[in-house]
Amino acid sequence: MTGRKFFVGGNWKMNGDKKSIEELANTLNNAKLNPDTEVVCGAPPIYLDYARSKLNPNIDVAAQNCYKVAKGAFTGEISPAMIKDCGVKWVILGHSERRHVFGESDELIGQKVAHALENGLGVIACIGEKLDEREAGITEKVVFSQTKFIADNVKDWSKVVLAYEPVWAIGTGKTASPQQAQEVHDKLRQWMKANVSEAVANSVRIIYGGSVTGGTCKELASQKDVDGFLVGGASLKPEFIDIINAKA
């Protein structure tokens, strides 16, 4: 046993409405979920309050992004203070869609991580390489560089979950093999040991994301450095329960 509590996050992305969120909440609330797994659902910002009101208290809610200051003239943005005011405890930062669709830089993501943590939110910090980067053999270089921008902004690692999501596996149906995932997670832990501390390297949870399904989750969960999942499409379906219970 690693002592690291298994962590399963569902990233709903830009999906759902009140009806479907209520149905999903009922499904999750009535399911037998492994009590040794921490479960967090990432709802669209307009539904954070609603999702929080519908889900049982043993299921936490996450925002999918936030800005780097508490308030001000930043049209369309939300702050950690607002997220917390809705009873929400987590935020996903640096997701590949934020990086590659919306052009967020490593530097901005680092600033967001710092501000979210200073304001008491837990952070699910995402890293991962694109297909051309993997094929060029620079996976480590890319994920270490992304991780450094995050690490430089973290004081308390107990509030951070690191999510490794190879961009080529997100929503494509291609999953990194359990061995590929384990290899990167192991290298990330070694990087943390060398650049942060051995204690943090051993305690920080590194979760995998990228086309995780009920079918692939058990073998991935059995890898010694895979501490959970960040789940996209499957988190909107009843099979999310199977993924939560991958370690059961």
Instruction: List the one residue out of 239, 234, 212, 237 whose CA is nearest residue 223.
Output: 212
pLDDT at 97: 96
Residue at token pair 């308030």: 71
Q: Reply yes or no on whether 165 is catalytic.
A: yes
pLDDT band for position 13 (50/70/90)? very high
Separation in Å, CA 60 to CA 43, 86, 111: 10, 12, 24
Residue 237: pLDDT over 70: yes
**CA–CA distance, 164 with 213 (Å, rounded to integer):** 16
Instruction: Return the bridge partners of 102, or none.
Output: none
Exposed, middle or buried by CB within 10 Å (0-12, 13-18, 19+), for 74? exposed
**CA–CA distance, 104 with 149 (Å, rounded to integer):** 13
Q: Reply yes or no on whether 129 is catalytic.
A: no
Mean pLDDT (whole number) for 88-101: 98
Averaged pLDDT score across all residues of the chain? 97
Element (H, E) at 52: helix 48-54
pLDDT at 243: 98
**CA–CA distance, 248 with 194 (Å, rounded to integer):** 32
**CA–CA distance, 200 with 64 (Å, rounded to integer):** 25
pLDDT at 2: 67
Catalytic one of 38, 104, 165, 185: 165
Residue 1: pLDDT over 90: no
pLDDT in tens, 124-181: 999 999 999 999 999 999 999 999 999 999 999 999 999 999 999 988 888 899 999 9
- Between these two residues, 119 and 2, which has the higher pLDDT value? 119
Residue 30: pLDDT over 60: yes
pLDDT at 170: 86
| 106-128 as b/e: b if 16+ CB within 10 A | bebbbbbbbbbbeeebbbbbbbb
pLDDT at 98: 98
pLDDT in tens, 168-215: 998 888 889 999 999 999 999 999 999 999 999 999 999 999 989 999
Catalytic one of 95, 115, 129, 133: 95
Cβ atoms within 10 A of the Cβ of 194, count?
11
